[in-house]
Amino acid sequence: MQRLAPALREDNVPLDLISLIKTILAATKEISFRVSQAHLGGLMGSTLDENIQGEVQKELDVVANELFKDILLESGFVKAVSSEEEDTSVAGNPKGKYLVSFDPLDGSSNIEINSLIGTIFSIHPAPENMDADDPDMFKQAGHKQVCAGYVLYGPATMLVMTTGSGTHFYVLDRTHGGYLLVERNVQVPEETQEFAVNMSNQRFWQAPMKNYIDDLLLGDTGPRGKNFNMRWIAAMVGDVHRVLTRGGIFTYPADNKDPKKPYKLRLMYEANPMSFLVEQAGGISVTSEGRIMDIEPGSIHQRVEVILGSKKEVEACLAYYK
Ligand code: AFP
C-alpha cells in the first residue's frame, strides 16, 4: 500500500501543501490517541464554557481544538486558522501561504457513547494583500479550496481527502505511524435506496422536504416505486463517510424550529469540505437553491442547508423544490 506523501506527489500536489497536510495529520494522530484514552484520562465531560455558536464545549472538543490550532500555528505554513471552537480567526505566520478552517471534533454528542467522531478540515490559499488577523481572508467560496478532508476516529482511524484530483481513502497504520492509501478515486453510486436525515425535525421542515421524505417512506407503494432504508449517525463525518462508501443521500434541511437559526451545519468547516469530497467522488452537494461550493461566505461561522450524495437521488430531492 502506498504511503501518503508519494500518493500526493503523484497527484502533483505542491510540496508546501504536502508539508501542511502532514502537519494536519500529525495533529489528527495525537487526537486519535487522546480520543482512545479519553475514558481513562477523565476527559469525557463538558466544560462550563459555550462556543460562539452557543453550544456547550466538551472537554475533548477543547483538547482537540488546542492541539490542532497549536500545531498549525507553530508550523509556519498557515497565515491564519479558523475553528468551530474559536470566536474569530487566529493569526499565524504573516507569510504563510494557506488558511485552514476546521471542526476539531465533529459529532461531539457521540463522545460519551463511544461512537463515531472525527476532525474536518478545509484549506484555502491565503490572500497576500491582507493582514493575518483579518477574518475577512476566510470569505472565500468553497470552489477555491485546494484541499479538504476529514479523519474519522472509528474502529480504524481513516483519512478521506481530496486535493482536487479525486477523493481517496487512507487508513492510519499504527505499526509504522503513517496513513496508507487504501482506495483511490472513490465513486459515489449515482442511485441509492438509503437516506440520512434527523427525522425528529420533520414537522419543522419546509413543504418540499416534507413531501420528498414522505414519498421515500412510502417505499414501493409510493411514487418512487422502491423501498428506502434510513441511517443517522448524528456526526456528519460518519454519515458522509457512509455516502462516500456505498452511496446515499444526506440532508440537514432548513427548519423553523428556531426562526433565528434556520440551518444547522456550518459552511466553512462542515459543508464546504464535505462538498469538495463528495463532488470529487462524482456526487452532488447543494442547498435547495444551488451549489454549496459557490456560496460567497458572509462570516466564518455561517450556517447553511445541506443536501448531498448520490447524483440521481439529490436531483430527485431537488425536483420537489421546483
Ligand atoms: P456537534 O459536533 O456539535 O455534535 O454537531 C454535529 C453536527 O453538526 C453534524 O456533524 C451532524 O450531522 C449534526 O450536527 C447532528 O445533528 P442532530 O443533533 O440534529 O442529530
For 88-127, write each residue's pLDDT tens digit. 999 999 999 999 999 999 998 899 899 999 999 999 999 9
Backbone angles phi, psi at 156, to 5 degrees: -115, 145
Q: Which atom of ligand 1 is nearest to the CA of 106?
A: 2
Name the residue with the closest Cα to ligand 1, atom 13. 234
Confidence category of residue 263, pLDDT binned at 50, 70, 90? very high
Q: How far is the CA of 273 from the centre of ligand 1 (A)?
A: 16
| Assigned domain for 189 exists | no
In the Cβ-directed half-sphere of 29, how many Cα atoms lie within 13 Å? 17
- Is residue 80 scored above 80 in pLDDT? yes
Are residues 178 and 238 part of one domain? no
pLDDT score of 257: 95
Q: How far is the CA of 65 from the centre of ligand 1 (A)?
A: 17
Confidence category of residue 292, pLDDT binned at 50, 70, 90? very high
Are residues 146 and 43 part of one domain? yes
Are residues 175 and 218 part of one domain? no
- Is residue 266 scored above 80 in pLDDT? yes
Confidence category of residue 233, pLDDT binned at 50, 70, 90? very high
Q: How far is the CA of 146 from the centre of ligand 1 (A)?
A: 25
Average pLDDT over residues 199-210: 98
Please list, residue by residue across 307-317, b when 16 or more beta carbons sit within 10 angstroms of its beta carbon and e when fewer do: bbbbbebbebb
- The verdict on the CB of residue 271 being under 6 Å from ligand 1 is no
Q: pLDDT for 153-167, tens place per residue? A: 999 999 999 999 999
pLDDT score of 51: 76
Are residues 134 and 18 part of one domain? yes
pLDDT score of 209: 98
* Amino acid symbol at 62: V
pLDDT mean across residues, the chain: 96
Q: Which domain holds residue 205?
A: 194-319
Average pLDDT over residues 176-182: 95
Q: Which atom of ligand 1 is nearest to the CA of 266?
A: 8
| Assigned domain for 251 exists | yes
Are residues 177 and 39 part of one domain? yes
Q: What is the CATH number of the domain that holds 18?
A: 3.30.540.10
pLDDT score of 291: 98
- Is residue 58 scored above 90 in pLDDT? no
Q: How far is the CA of 45 from the centre of ligand 1 (A)?
A: 17
| Assigned domain for 310 exists | yes
**Alpha-carbon distance 73 to 68, whole Å?**
9
- Is residue 270 scored above 80 in pLDDT? yes
Are residues 266 and 141 part of one domain? no
- Residue linked to cell 497504520: 173
Which residues, in sequence order, are bridge partners of residue 190? Answer: none
Window from 57-66, 145-154, 216-225 with minimum mean pLDDT: 57-66
| Assigned domain for 188 exists | no
Confidence category of residue 56, pLDDT binned at 50, 70, 90? confident
- Is residue 232 scored above 90 in pLDDT? yes
- The verdict on the CB of residue 108 being under 6 Å from ligand 1 is yes
- Is residue 55 scored above 80 in pLDDT? no
Backbone angles phi, psi at 273, to 5 degrees: -60, -40
pLDDT score of 41: 78
- Residue linked to cell 477574518: 135
Provide, rounded to the nearest whole percent, the portion of the chain with pLDDT above 70: 100
Q: How far is the CA of 104 from the centre of ligand 1 (A)?
A: 13
pLDDT score of 231: 98
Overall number of domains in the chain: 2
Q: What is the CATH number of the domain that holds 305?
A: 3.40.190.80
Q: How large is the angle between the packed helices 311-319 and 207-218, nearest 10 degrees?
A: 120
Are residues 13 and 37 part of one domain? yes
Q: Which of 183, 214, 248 lies at the terminal end of a domain, its last residue?
A: 183
Q: Are 285 and 306 spatial neighbours (Cβ–Cβ below 8 Å)?
A: yes
Q: How far is the CA of 40 from the CAs of 36, 43, 44, 125, in angstroms? A: 9, 8, 9, 39
Q: How far is the CA of 85 from the CAs of 59, 122, 139, 162, in angstroms? A: 12, 15, 18, 24
Q: Are 243 and 309 spatial neighbours (Cβ–Cβ below 8 Å)?
A: yes
Which residues, in sequence order, are bridge partners of residue 48? Answer: none
**Alpha-carbon distance 118 to 87, whole Å?**
21
Beta strands per DSSP E along 203-283:
229-230, 249-252, 265-266
**Alpha-carbon distance 90 to 125, whole Å?**
16
Are residues 241 and 145 part of one domain? no
Quick one: cell of 18?
504536502
DSSP code of 22? Answer: H
Are residues 307 and 158 part of one domain? no
pLDDT score of 134: 97
- The verdict on the CB of residue 267 being under 6 Å from ligand 1 is no
